[in-house]
Amino acid sequence: MTKFILSALSYLPWTIVSLLSGVVYIRLLLGPNPVPQRGLWGVLHMFFKLGMLRVGFIFGAVLALAFILADVFYLRQKLGHGLQATALRVLCFICIGICVAIIHYVLEKVVDVI
């Protein structure tokens, strides 16, 4: 049980980074909100921010799940620990993020599912 908790805590920084990168990706994708923040338009502005956070966290959760599964079933056996292993994990994280972004783009623009 303790080994499982320590293993789960070791993936906490990766999960936080993936959730934040998901929100940043969606923010870059949507751009700034053209609606002014004054008056009743502030409610629409609030919905824009909440929607951006919701979709960004979903994107980040998919990224975190894909990375953790890749690390548990493949990278952990091949690499180990150390600075070079961490650098390769970061590179793998970026590659998985790019793949998830491409899949998101294809599903949104080409297939029109999202």
Domain residue ranges of the chain, discontinuous segments joined by +: 2-110
Tell me the pTM.
Answer: 0.82
3-state secondary structure of 34: coil
What's the confidence (pLDDT) of residue 93?
Answer: 92
Per-residue pLDDT tens digits for 28-81: 988 887 777 777 777 888 888 888 899 999 999 999 999 999 988 888 888 777
What's the confidence (pLDDT) of residue 65?
Answer: 94
What's the confidence (pLDDT) of residue 86?
Answer: 86
Q: How confident is the prediction for the chain on average, in pLDDT? A: 87
SS (H, E, C) 52-88: HHHHHHHHHHHHHHHHHHHHHHHHHHHCCCCHHHHHH
What's the confidence (pLDDT) of residue 69?
Answer: 92
